[in-house]
Structure 1
């Protein structure tokens, strides 16, 4: 079999059309390879094959999901707040007073299983650079984590490494971790989910875009040198099924250096402030391949690159390896020649290596529609000559077949209504069981490893419903963020599950007193080649798009993560939704802790409780059951509740607010007691079991000064918006005391705390 020449140039490719190429090993299908040949009019060189293989991978091209993701644009609600939408590195939202916020969530699932610490760390680093490229200062991170059974041997290997990676990278960068979620389920055994969100702040006029405009402008690579770590990571780890031999893929996991990233952040921000950058792109998935093709495709011309000039950490790297390397802490900028010296001086000041590796080229009239050419040389010979848009924007789009799984009807018929309900004497014990279960218990074993208040602008953070930050040190304006998802609900009904994920994040943001504005999402699924998985995905995308349209919260960007499965076992369909909101004055923010002041506070439940136990934490913890239909979605009620909460916060009516989700009212009461270190006495008006454990949506637990004008105003707001308000009891004492038609029970705060806090340390300490 003839071999590809040592330096496979465009000339040799033209002269050896029948040379076999390892496209299948690089994840390309036969028809994809044939299409590349048709685009180029010849076989690709080895370097061109490297570019197309990573840029057309599932992770980079969204080839299986793009057809469904379009509805996020087609159904996008109109809002003047959206400054930059989908298509850039991150969305940008106007939050008032000339300030804008950019935010995005992405996955690093497979790398975090293979090498937990570095996989999670570089997931944080990558999303931070996405925010940086928009011209913003990154100001905070959040994370959404899911693992297999908490007591599984592999969870004990993966979870501590993931947490240490997030902690190490974020803390070294000086970024507060202000919120997130932690879940455990057998469905994630062997395939954890590590989704990281970053948010940044900028002025409207400082927005940067990924585009290479201006013939004669220079292409500058700055940051870390390129090494062999992460070669092909996007296609190797995120675009194929995950088998037991995945441990052998350890070299594909990137290695992060947060101290260099911190220098890169400060260097970039100074470059932006001095107006030295015409276009900017980070090097994340697909590395140099992605940065060059996307910058060139986003401009009006082409680009010429000398790969020999790329600074290397390992000089044995071939051109293909340089193109596919995903070494971290690298950025690519387009700079005018007149500004190069000032650009280089700032990089030198921060100790960041900067190298001119090419220039923006003009485009002929016949090439204009295709966006010019991307040309790369190696040792003076041309090894790449392709239209960049074909790699960056015109990858394959699959209409994957999808069909409702045959097992779905049986799953939905298997309702929790047949499960044994606790008697009045068992309510106390089962509440403590749910409260102490791994997916509901106090996550402080994880979150105490993160710095939540570095930078000094954190107003609210874990364990409260949402994180709240001041936009700037000289302003009272703030932003609120929350991330949420529920794989159990999505397994039962992916359309409703997506809407419930959005509703919970929306409600959590509203529970801080903020007005929800916009959405980012990370959609985690099994193999798109499975028609049942694709049905789950299609229903999820449709449900989320419909709900965002109804709530007026546009999707600004996000991530799709497919192939989250080991063998034939796929994870639960898991859309994780991040919601951003704005609060005019952070001094009015609402926390989830009951007040400890000596004045009496009355507790209200806002919203309607229904007998909805399917997919609940109670069904999972007490019976190991999953079946039936998830809670009813009522987006009108969610919007009305959000208006009440933001209005009540603005009028300073409430003393606390806490949304009801996993575990229902019983868990919410316990958490508000523990966070305030104060007890409460409540009376359950209906069926005690359903009142305690139902997970009906559109509900929030609030407290208000008893017998006060604020209490009457709260009731008036609820009447105005058609939301049921039910007085449950009062705050005070040292126990959670519950009365109901069948009896009563009392749990001292010390016992609540022991059940809630002991679980994770017992599992993971040592």
Structure 2
């Protein structure tokens, strides 16, 4: 680890002396791109984070949003917490532990707000599925998420899996967590009073994960899988489960004044940010930190990113009670210091090794002023399309194929809240405390943002909102994970700027506050930069927990609602057969479309609703066919079958006139045909007729399981 010369000069000027070796390492990590957002923070003001439902916005370990109360019986408001994190570089070096500790970290962010974690989503991005290395990474990442999430008893209820050649040297693992808390139990990461004790609870501190924040802030080298392995943390889900339950007891007993989980930059990051946020300092004795390994030096103790650890602010009179609860759960517990006035000070062997202004350490990193080049869209060069072969290629493509192989490895029903299982447009959780259904959608489509960063990111936001609306919910709030390559390259930074602005603009149009998030840059390797990837995790709310399925019922009329486009840019069709095109035009009244779709989805005559996205109508229709239900439909031309304009949905209804009336003046409604009970998709496209039965469709769509089992 090495503090850059320009930063060292600033630190020296502020301190009036050269920094100690521990201080220099602490500044390097806390001023890294991963922690300080030096290249992205100037762009993030584009997001709107306010709303009546927002209780805690950006800047804490997780955001907090107020749920509508549909039962009228609760004496206390019900809140949900939302957080999202990336563990990209670690998951390339060590896919199992990299992904597992990503889950552990985002769950502890939830704990630090006083919340109980109730659901996870995972949005995963890999290189070409035909490559052996991709399958190795996919297998390890999914196993890591499954083993950790299943062991701690938090269901993984949704997410996405995407394949794109430009992730070959740098996969992305983005994990979101939703928690549940009420107004009486809510805590934050802001220190409350000088004299309160700082208590470290959880696993012992070892040497794993040293320099993890710095490692996450640079391009992956060719030998990263061997040379950077020490920067990857090792998880222990069984200790995390104990920590979850101990945290509940601590919150129940009112023993916690503030909290922060130990993630990037370890103890130094968590404790300095906690006191700086409250306008305080700290005095910490590093010798008191319970350690797993002998002879650790102060730099290692301060910066190790050993997992399953929390830093709590505790009143002096409550320290013994905290220690008793920790002992009950067989967790380590150390009173490592106290909140103070003045500087952030760490001592080791009776010597002062850190003595710095906390605000300067936590928030003093200078921002980068980087050049950007605005990306251009490709010129149209459409191929001639044979409908039958194109249908088979698109429906069986890894990006549009069933992700059952992934989510069947997750326990998605533990906790007894999951009302709609993975494989649908969005998950639905039963929040019985408020009589409210909480819907969750997460993901991005890199083909869209690779083609057109700004419009592609707008489409990602609209796609997630449409997923919620298809289950009868209106969007409530969102968190984002903004992934990009090396920002020092003007074309890369231009693409990253495009996804920030696009996501911000569409979320604003939808009246969805972006209440928190994460930035991961330097996702660049010898293979080149990743596509700009704006993962969005969005939650919505509805009265009750029932939702229309995505599968045909067989008894209704099949309608397409929403504006179509004649552009194929970013589509799976072009990825399969070649060619290029501009990105589709998005609706100008996106908010009205989403609100109307949610209302229609909740109407009694509605039998099924499924959004149209990756693969267009071809994939959406195929996904709705079951062994007992199908459809006989007609589409005007091949472009209409394969274009991927978001904000559209297929609705099966027994009252098509009511759907047309609801969308009058909002969006067009097209009658595609009728649902059937023969388990076959009968499709007519400009004179070409296809008939594909459910068994054939299932075989086409099961490519991941076929290749990986």
Relative to the length of structure 2, the TM-score reads 0.96
Encode CA deviations 1:53-105: one digit per residue, 9 max, x unaligned.
Answer: 11001100101111011222xx44x5201111111111111112311111121
Deviation for aligned residue 1:167: 0.3
1:154–1:190 contact (8 Å) kept in structure 2: no
Encode CA deviations 1:507-564: one digit per residue, 9 max, x unaligned.
Answer: 1111111110111111111101111111111122122222222211111111111111
Root mean square deviation, CA, Å: 1.5
Match of 1:436 among 393, 396, 399: 396
The structure-2 alpha-carbon separation of the partners of 1:530 and 1:740, relative to structure 1 and needing over 3 Å to count, comes to closer
Greater helix percent: which structure?
1
Aligned to 2:74: none
Q: Distance in 1 between matches of 2:657 and 2:253?
A: 54
List alignment gaps of at least 5 residues for structure 1: 1-24, 364-371
Deviation for aligned residue 1:713: 2.3
Q: Distance in 2 between matches of 1:546 and 1:747?
A: 40
Match of 2:441 among 476, 482, 485: 482
Match of 2:680 among 735, 746, 751: 735
Relative to the length of structure 1, the TM-score reads 0.89
Q: Distance in 2 between matches of 1:162 and 1:722?
A: 41
Match of 1:655 among 574, 598, 607: 607
2:471–2:602 contact (8 Å) kept in structure 1: no
Aligned to 1:369: none
Q: Does 1:451 align with 2:411?
A: yes
Aligned to 2:155: 176
Q: Distance in 2 between matches of 1:305 and 1:359?
A: 7
Aligned to 2:518: 559
Q: Does 1:279 align with 2:258?
A: yes
- Mapping for residues 658-677 of structure 1, pairs under 5 Å: 658-674=610-626, 677=628
Match of 1:646 among 593, 598, 616: 598
Deviation for aligned residue 1:568: 6.6
The structure-2 alpha-carbon separation of the partners of 1:182 and 1:635, relative to structure 1 and needing over 3 Å to count, comes to farther
Q: Does 1:44 align with 2:19?
A: yes
Encode CA deviations 1:221-261: one digit per residue, 9 max, x unaligned.
Answer: 0000001111111112x111111110111111000001100
The structure-2 alpha-carbon separation of the partners of 1:725 and 1:80, relative to structure 1 and needing over 3 Å to count, comes to farther
1:484–1:502 contact (8 Å) kept in structure 2: no
Deviation for aligned residue 1:484: 2.3
Q: Does 1:593 align with 2:551?
A: yes
Q: Distance in 2 between matches of 1:377 and 1:105?
A: 34
Q: Distance in 1 between matches of 2:673 and 2:362?
A: 57
Match of 2:583 among 630, 644, 647: 630
Q: Secondary structure at the match of 1:529?
A: coil
Encode CA deviations 1:692-711: one digit per residue, 9 max, x unaligned.
Answer: 11112221011112xxxx43
Match of 1:514 among 469, 473, 478: 473
Q: Does 1:32 align with 2:7?
A: yes
Q: Distance in 2 between matches of 1:397 and 1:646?
A: 42
Match of 1:421 among 378, 385, 395: 385
Match of 2:539 among 544, 561, 580: 580
Encode CA deviations 1:314-336: one digit per residue, 9 max, x unaligned.
Answer: 12221001111000000000000
The structure-2 alpha-carbon separation of the partners of 1:566 and 1:99, relative to structure 1 and needing over 3 Å to count, comes to same
1:605–1:728 contact (8 Å) kept in structure 2: no
Q: Does 1:681 align with 2:625?
A: no
Q: Distance in 2 between matches of 1:665 and 1:56?
A: 47
Q: Does 1:185 align with 2:164?
A: yes
Aligned to 2:72: none
- Mapping for residues 297-376 of structure 1, pairs under 5 Å: 297-361=276-340, 363=341, 372-376=342-346
Match of 2:46 among 71, 76, 85: 71
1:50–1:323 contact (8 Å) kept in structure 2: no
Deviation for aligned residue 1:645: 2.4
Aligned to 1:12: none
1:306–1:378 contact (8 Å) kept in structure 2: yes
Q: Distance in 2 between matches of 1:548 and 1:344?
A: 44
Q: Distance in 2 between matches of 1:507 and 1:400?
A: 35
Aligned to 1:20: none
The structure-2 alpha-carbon separation of the partners of 1:635 and 1:677, relative to structure 1 and needing over 3 Å to count, comes to farther
Q: Distance in 1 between matches of 2:404 and 2:442?
A: 17
Deviation for aligned residue 1:489: 1.6
Q: Distance in 2 between matches of 1:184 and 1:428?
A: 23
2:121–2:176 contact (8 Å) kept in structure 1: yes
Q: Distance in 2 between matches of 1:240 and 1:555?
A: 27
Aligned to 1:502: 461
Q: Distance in 2 between matches of 1:495 and 1:761?
A: 34
